[in-house]
Amino acid sequence: MRLTSGADGFAFDAYRAPATDARRGGLVVIQEIFGVTDHIREVADSFASDGYEALAPALFDRRARGFEGGYDPEGVAKGREVSEATPWDEVAADLQACIAALAPPVFAVGYCWGGSAAWLAACRCDGLSAVSAYYGRRIPELLRETPRCPIILHFGRDDASIPPATVQAVADVYPDIPIHLYDAGHGFASDRRADYRPDAARLARLRTLQLFALNGGGRSEV
């Protein structure tokens, strides 16, 4: 499907996965630096099977429509280039358009670059009931902004790109926000990544689903 940003009228694509179980709510699935890849589509489908109508917006469409980067050094370099050229104000407006396209309650989950974007959405966007952010390396750029809805954070203890001092800096500013640490590196929730850790991925997902359930994402009653 295609959505329109309220900031500049730009039309960007989004992968939609309708809820295949009793609908619990809407969910914005925010991409890694690699774009809306087959992995991100599978993540959206998996949440749809749990009852969440999922939208995965292509947030790099202005600079590289349909971008799907590989996990090799070239793909990583291109993903970083595009992500760093994408301003947070633009991202927030696009995410707001996604939230508006979903019937409440609406939640968000983000991975890698999307973990930072998920924090951004919790701080700036209206209409979110809860947010789960995975290994958001750039969250420290946004620490002057306060989340307006419940949020949990997931980090790997062995993530070379997010050292313990970075995680502690977030905890120092927001001591009441749950920060979950896993014996894993960066990208531990993705089975496409070398750092994939099934046990950590499963636990983080259970915590994410619990957060959503506690904040309005219960099954509809007949």
Residues labelled catalytic: 112, 159, 186
Q: Which has the closest alpha carbon to 208: 109, 113, 112, 136?
A: 109
Contact 185, 156 (CB under 8 A): yes
Whole-angstrom distance, CA of residue 76 vs CA of residue 186: 13
Alpha helical stretches, state H, the chain: 38-49, 61-64, 73-84, 88-100, 113-124, 164-173, 198-214
Three-state SS string over 33-47 comes to CCECCHHHHHHHHHH
| Cα 164 to chain centroid, rounded | 21
User: What is the token pair recorded at 39?
Assistant: 């992995």
Q: What is the DSSP letter of 116?
A: H
Whole-angstrom distance, CA of residue 183 vs CA of residue 157: 6
Whole-angstrom distance, CA of residue 133 vs CA of residue 188: 13
